[in-house]
Amino acid sequence: MAERYHNYVDGQWTESETGETFETTNPAAPTDVVAEYERSSAADADAAVEAAAAAQDEWANTPAPDRGAILRETASILEGRKQELTTLLTREEGKAHAEASGEVQRAIDIFYYYAEKTRDLGGTVKSASGPQTTLYTVRGPVGVAGLITPWNYPIAIPAWKIAPALATGNTLVLKPAEVAPAVALELFEALDEAGIPDGVANVVTGFGATAGNAVVAHDDVDAVSFTGSGQVGQLVYDQATDDAKRVQTELGGKNPTVVSDSADVETAAEIVAGGAFGTTGQSCTACSRAVVHTDVYDEFVDAVVAEAEAIEIGPGDEYDMGPQVSEDELEGTLDYIEIAENEGATLETGGGQPEGDRFGDGHFVEPTVFTGVENDYRIAQEEVFGPVLTVLEVEEFDEALAVANDVQYGLSASIVTDDHSEAERFVREIEAGVAKVNEKTSGLELHVPFGGVKNSSSETWREQGDAGIDFYTIEKTVYDSF
């Protein structure tokens, strides 16, 4: 029997006032219903925001180390349930077991990290111009945070928004993506068990046009943090800024890896394949473009095709690469593969749905590599969000940089090179919020800032590390002249 989840509002698990629900299914076996959720209305979202607003002053006045103790206990509870959360994440979102386990661990680590940061939330002391004056700063919470999160990292992304918000004294309402919300609800189970006060953390499930929009639009919401598609993110940004709310958006990517003529080709192919096909390509930091020097181009294509063909596809609990999360996502990827072939790109491997008993009616697609791609092709310019890699040939490093930067996005980028001068220049000139040398584009440390440029971000605030604390706090300057 499928699990039934409710909203968590003002410390209580509640049903939607609509009386309606929706289901999620296992993308590896779509007849397998995973869970049932509340189909929340705007009124449900409003009630959650009002609960958060009512709880805000008391939570802000709670000593920061006491707030940290609740975060630490939440992390401990999640740690004790890691295996079951991993299984649940794989079953609902489709991610391979090792990837799902790593994501759950990331959420655990984030809560432990921000639990410790609560001990260091003081401001700074400066020298005053006059005598008998103490000049210093203090930080306070922004207020009520509205959080909208995607399905592709259904526990890690909620964690890296929730933990710094709570650590700094904000209250919040989360609206997780309707495609895979189970592990986010389990995170709130852990918060509840850890003793989070009523109203401080709230979650409503449902759809963006109703519940999500109501959270963003509510007058009592002071800050909005959104991760998702560029189209929806722009709407969220416009609405939030029109209402003078603090807002942060993290959106799509078309992330390149430059392969230099000095690179070890086998290593480069391994790095690119890991970035392109890990998490079934369903990551905003996934590598979708390999920009390769002509001297190593043919050898690289052979090596990366071999990497793609070595990946074992199947249900995430047993295989290297799981399915796409939904039929819509699968169809979107297959549409882009068709577009690429019609544009004149050469399909080197993949390009279809695998056949065999283990695939059933699941949303599986083969790791796909295209060559013969021009940089103005749609397959080289638009985010696919599936395991599709385009390989572009360039004749020199200047051309590689130009091609890498010639997209509307700027989230993550990497270079594989044995030339330190090239690496330094790449870091300086690449138009991306994350630059990596001899590493894949995907994968992030939790204690450093994360965000993009151009259409990958609102370019307002970063997430994670101290940057996460900056977004959720307002700095006040104090002149004390006793």
By annotation, the residues acting in catalysis are 284
Q: For residues 268 and 6, what is the distance between their CA atoms, to the nearest angstrom?
A: 46
**Amino acid identity, residue 318?**
E
Tokens 């949303």, residue located: 363
Q: Which 3 state secondary structure label does DSSP give 36?
A: strand
The full DSSP string for 93-150 is: H---HHHHHHHHHHHHHHHHHHHHHGGG----EE--SSTT-EEEEEEEE-SEEEEEE-
CA dihedral 188, 447, 385, 174 (to 10 degrees): 30
Judge residue 332's burial from the number of C-beta atoms within 10 Å of its C-beta, 0-12 exposed, 13-18 middle, 19 or more buried. middle
Query: Which token pair is 412?
Result: 């993550």
In the chain, the largest separation of any two C-alpha atoms, in whole Å, equals 81
- What is the dihedral sign for C-alpha 41, 152, 179, 7? negative
Closest CA to 303 of 314, 317, 288, 290: 290
Are 461 and 249 spatial neighbours (Cβ–Cβ below 8 Å)? no
CA 262 to chain centre: 33
Query: Which token pair is 211?
Result: 């519940």
Q: For residues 258 and 263, what is the distance between their CA atoms, to the nearest angstrom?
A: 10
**Rounded alpha-carbon distances, angstroms, from residue 249 to 80, 187, 263, 301:** 32, 22, 35, 35
Phi then psi for residue 130, to 5 deg, are -105, 165
Pairing mode, strands 29-38 and 3-4: parallel
Q: Give kind and range of the element (H or E) at residue 335.
A: helix 327-343
Query: Which token pair is 241?
Result: 């800024």
HEC letters along 345-360? CEEEECCCCCCCHHHC
CB atoms within 10 A of CB 453: 15
Judge residue 243's burial from the number of C-beta atoms within 10 Å of its C-beta, 0-12 exposed, 13-18 middle, 19 or more buried. middle
